């Protein structure tokens, strides 16, 4: 049975842990606010740019290499995780989803080329001897657009060399603080717009200035960067939300443990006092005899 000193030491340790988790929750909440603002500002821009270019590119694959639909022999998967842990199942869910996608592609006789963002994905696949074509780390919390340009150029060059036929991004999309959705998005080649039963303004012919070719040459690579940037911002907001939730749960668990240990301490102390009183009473009775 644990002594009063042992129980008291455990209470002190749990209180110290609670202070750490509470502080980490507050830091994560502050980072989440900034990440969420960047993500919300980026969403409409990324959605509209993708929609406009998809409509613009609907007139033919020959206009740009990033529009060419090739037979799927090799696909590239860009996996986005965090550089740090303590964010619940945020990274684990992404890795499991990626392994499932790889297995599905291989079942279809499609080769998979893997690139990763974040130390967690790099270390996870490295331990499992999974070959990675490229890895970008130390971006969490300090993402700048130049990092996105580096990633985008690498993927575009790899695609234009016809080393891969499709490029997908796997990331956690921010839904709410308590809910992040694993999302798989194809960024190359761009799919043509879906045909609707009713014709609208998007189906009209336009005169382009400069030429349609020049517009696509300039904006299609930019769109790849924008979609990667959007996915990274979503992932970082999701990471901070998951970490904040995890630290809140850890703080609540610490409170419950402190209550339980305090009750255990009081019971042990009461038992100790009772035992001492019984010894005193027993000694008095012995003297009387």
Average pLDDT, stretch 15-33? 94
CATH class of the domain at 22-192+206-246: alpha beta
pLDDT at position 196 over 70: no
- Between CA 52 and CA 37 the distance in angstroms is 24
**Residues near 160 by beta carbon (within 8 Å), at least 6 away in sequence:** 65, 66
Task: Give me the residue spans of the domains in the chain.
Answer: 22-192+206-246
| Residue recorded with tokens 């967690």 | 120
Q: What pLDDT does 62 receive?
A: 65
171, with CB counted inside 10 A (0-12, 13-18, 19+), is buried
pTM of this prediction?
0.85
**Res 277 pLDDT > 60:** yes
Q: What is the pLDDT of residues 99-149, one digit of tens each?
A: 999 999 999 999 999 999 999 999 999 999 999 999 999 998 889 999 999
For residue 181, is pLDDT > 60?
yes
Query: What pLDDT does residue 202 have?
Result: 46
Residue 55: predicted pLDDT: 77
User: In this predicted structure, what is the pLDDT of residue 205?
Assistant: 59
* CB-neighbour burial class of residue 76 (10 A; exposed 0-12, middle 13-18, buried 19+): buried
Q: Are strands 74-80 and 111-117 parallel, antiparallel or unpaired?
A: parallel
Q: Which backbone phi and psi does 211 adopt, to 5 degrees?
A: -65, 160
């Amino acid at each position: 049975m644990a002594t009063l000193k042992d129980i008291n030491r455990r209470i002190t340790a749990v209180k110290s842990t609670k202070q750490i988790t509470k502080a980490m929750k507050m830091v994560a909440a502050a980072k989440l606010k900034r990440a969420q603002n960047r993500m919300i500002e980026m969403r409409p821009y990324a959605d509209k740019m993708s929609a406009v270019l998809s409509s613009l590119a609907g007139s033919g694959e020959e206009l740009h290499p990033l529009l060419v639909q090739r037979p799927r022999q090799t696909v590239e998967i860009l996996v986005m995780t965090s550089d740090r842990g303590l964010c619940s199942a945020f990274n684990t869910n992404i890795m499991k989803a990626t392994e499932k996608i790889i297995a599905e592609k291989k079942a279809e006789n499609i080769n998979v080329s893997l690139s990763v963002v974040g130390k967690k994905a790099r270390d996870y696949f490295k331990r499992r001897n999974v070959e990675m074509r490229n890895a970008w780390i130390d971006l969490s919390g300090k993402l700048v657009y130049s990092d996105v340009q580096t990633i985008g150029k690498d993927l575009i060059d790899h695609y234009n060399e016809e080393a891969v036929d499709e490029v997908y991004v796997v990331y956690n999309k921010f839904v709410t603080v308590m809910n992040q959705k694993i999302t798989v998005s194809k960024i190359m080649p761009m799919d043509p717009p879906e045909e609707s039963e009713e014709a609208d303004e998007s189906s009209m012919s336009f005169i382009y200035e400069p030429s349609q070719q020049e517009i696509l040459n300039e904006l299609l690579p930019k769109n790849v960067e924008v979609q990667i940037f959007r996915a990274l911002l979503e992932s970082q907001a999701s990471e901070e939300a998951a970490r904040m939730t995890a630290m809140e749960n850890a703080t609540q668990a610490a409170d419950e443990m402190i209550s339980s240990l305090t009750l255990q301490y009081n019971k042990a102390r009461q038992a100790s006092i009772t035992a001492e009183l019984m010894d005193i009473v027993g000694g008095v009775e012995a003297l009387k005899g």
